[in-house]
Chain A
Amino acid sequence: MNDFGKKGPPVRANRSLPELDRLHERHPGLSQAVCRCYAEAACVCMSRHHIPPAEIEISRNENTPVTRVLRWQPPSTTIGNAWKNADDATRDGAYSVSIATAESELSLVAISRAETRTGADYYLNSPGSTDLESAYRLEVSGLDRGGQSDISRRVREKIEQAQNGQSNLPAIVSVVGFKAKYIRMESVPE
């Protein structure tokens, strides 16, 4: 069992995160076009602060953090200009990296996407599953700058939000810090 209470294949033995622009091949909830769009955003976000490849520290609940290598193509000037809205790039890039991390560390894939008033939610479950009933809703947030403590604070805020009132649980909160090269994932208990 992984620590999110699901049986799944062992965590990836190699040290790389999956290629961001090919996630749609294994994540039915991610269309090819959206996958590539999010991957592009992630490249822009990472290239603001780093040159590829970069080592990313990933922390899950109370587990010992692990390190994974993230590879990407530095964006062309055209692509960089297309993502001139920094907040949009940070948001979409965080989706890409979070979904890749869910696959790598939790053996979960995005099985579905469902629309909400302000955007869309992605649902994670074991590969091959089509069951939304037991799926984890993925809550994603991105930080362009800031350190690990800022990321941890954002995680606590998101968990508090998800626990207040009538929330759609179970859920997994994922906060991606691009400059910090740090990802924090926590489950939100029901």
Chain B
Amino acid sequence: MNENHLRSQNQASHAELLMRSGNTADAYNLYAVAAAEEEKALHAIDPTRRPRTWGILAVSVVSLFYKGTHYAEAERRALQFLNRNEIPDFARVQLKELLAVVWEGQDFRSAGIQYAGEGITISLRGREIGAGTAPIDLVLDKITGVNSLIFRVAEWLGRHPLRRHGPPPPEIREICQPWMTQPQVGSYRFGVRLVQSLQGELIPRQSFGTTEIADSLLSIVRAVAPQLPGTSGQEDIVSIVPDRDYRNTMLKLVRNMVPDGQRLKEVEFATVRANVSTRVVLFENARLSITETLRASLPTDAFADVITGTLRAVHLDKKWIEVLTDAGISQRCEITADVLDDVIGPMVNRRVIVRGKWSTSKHKIRVSDIELGTSAKGK
């Protein structure tokens, strides 16, 4: 391997370490220098005689420009290389993926935001899921759920008081804005990218960033989802989120995303960094685990009574909901400030299980917990 490539790889290694230490400006410059060296190495290779080597270095050149946020340079090279007939298939695929993120980076830059480099991939698997296709209601549910959970995690990391109503505060939206990526082939898979406003660099830095948000989200899901025995990294949810109100909110948001076991069997969350993926899978049995964890945080008789039916109306300010029960009765239920709009909102017009305690008169049930129902069974 020629001297230019050796220089490039050392410069790229150094740039990576600068990024890790937070010295992003110097890292970006060094990535661009490394890209130029790698390009010289590439020009010394005959693609007809060493196609694999050529493909590897071509991808490396574009990657280095991309990592240095030199988007125009990355775009120009990627298009140039893709125009070559000799390019091996693996390199073609990788260059097209790079071009997509380069264009994204250019779009974000003109919109005044920057891609923070963090993403969470959500994969859905089940009887009704095809390769790259899925029922709209299932997909929208999960997108809404992930969006809500991301903002709650960011607020918790930022030590904001638990938001009882309304959208997340502006400073949280500045730090991270979940953006959907297009679905990918194989099961049904979509990505959520965490981006942050360029304006965010002008305000005092938060003690956390998009990496911490993504990692915390996965830790929380992993902690409540019974995994296969001995799976890595499972911690107790109470130690991850000691604040009871935040913990219960996040548990309920995760529970909203648990598959029903019929239409949908698995929901997988994954992050990928440096080719290593961290994954956690939600199966149907997570629902019981989460419900038991919620129950443990409440008085012993809080789950004494149960009704099931369709959630027909919600009034958060007047603190009531109305459930059309399986017996055909419109039952008004009393709720507390613990019932939050991003948890209950997705449940309207859907089957629910309400747990609580009947009033002495048996006219009203005071709600301790409400979850999406998956079958006729109440408990």
A36 to chain B, nearest CB (A): 10
Instruction: Indicate whether B52 reaches chain A with its CB closer than 8 angstroms.
Output: yes
Q: Which residues of the other chain, B, contact A113 by a CB distance below 8 angstroms? A: 9, 12-13
Q: Which residues of the other chain, B, contact A94 by a CB distance below 8 angstroms? A: 276
> 8 Å CB contacts to A: which residues of B183-198?
186
**Pairwise interchain contact A87-B273, C-beta atoms closer than 8 A:** yes
The residue that B60 contacts in the complex, of A37, A90, A114, with Cβ under 8 A, is A114
> 8 Å CB contacts to A: which residues of B32-48?
34, 38
Q: Report the interface size class on chain A.
A: 35 or more
**Pairwise interchain contact A33-B9, C-beta atoms closer than 8 A:** no
**Pairwise interchain contact B275-A140, C-beta atoms closer than 8 A:** yes
Encode B69-98 as 1/0 by CB contact (under 8 A) with A: 000000000000000000011111110011
- Scoring B1, B34, B66 by chain A CB atoms within 10 A of each residue's CB, the highest score goes to B1
Q: Report the interface size class on chain B.
A: 35 or more
Instruction: Indicate whether A168 reaches chain B with its CB closer than 8 angstroms.
Output: yes
B349 to chain A, nearest CB (A): 38
**Pairwise interchain contact B59-A146, C-beta atoms closer than 8 A:** no
> 8 Å CB contacts to B: which residues of A111-150?
111-121, 123, 130-133, 139-147, 149-150
22 A-B contacts (beta carbon < 8 Å): A28-B1, A28-B6, A31-B10, A34-B13, A34-B16, A87-B273, A87-B276, A88-B273, A114-B57, A115-B38, A115-B67, A117-B98, A117-B101, A132-B56, A141-B276, A145-B230, A145-B231, A145-B234, A147-B229, A150-B228, A150-B230, A168-B55
* Closest 7 pairs (CB-CB, A-B): A119-B274, A166-B89, A115-B63, A91-B276, A168-B90, A31-B13, A145-B232
A residues near B (Cβ < 8 Å) are: 28-29, 31, 33-34, 37, 85-88, 90-92, 94, 111-121, 123, 130-133, 139-147, 149-150, 164-169
B residues near A (Cβ < 8 Å) are: 1, 5-6, 9-10, 12-14, 16-17, 20, 34, 38, 50, 52-53, 55-57, 59-60, 63-64, 66-67, 88-94, 97-98, 101, 186, 211, 215, 228-234, 271-278
17 further interface pairs, Cβ-Cβ under 8 Å (given A115-B63, A165-B93)? A28-B6, A34-B16, A90-B232, A92-B274, A114-B60, A115-B12, A115-B38, A116-B94, A117-B98, A118-B272, A120-B12, A140-B276, A144-B232, A145-B234, A146-B230, A166-B92, A168-B88
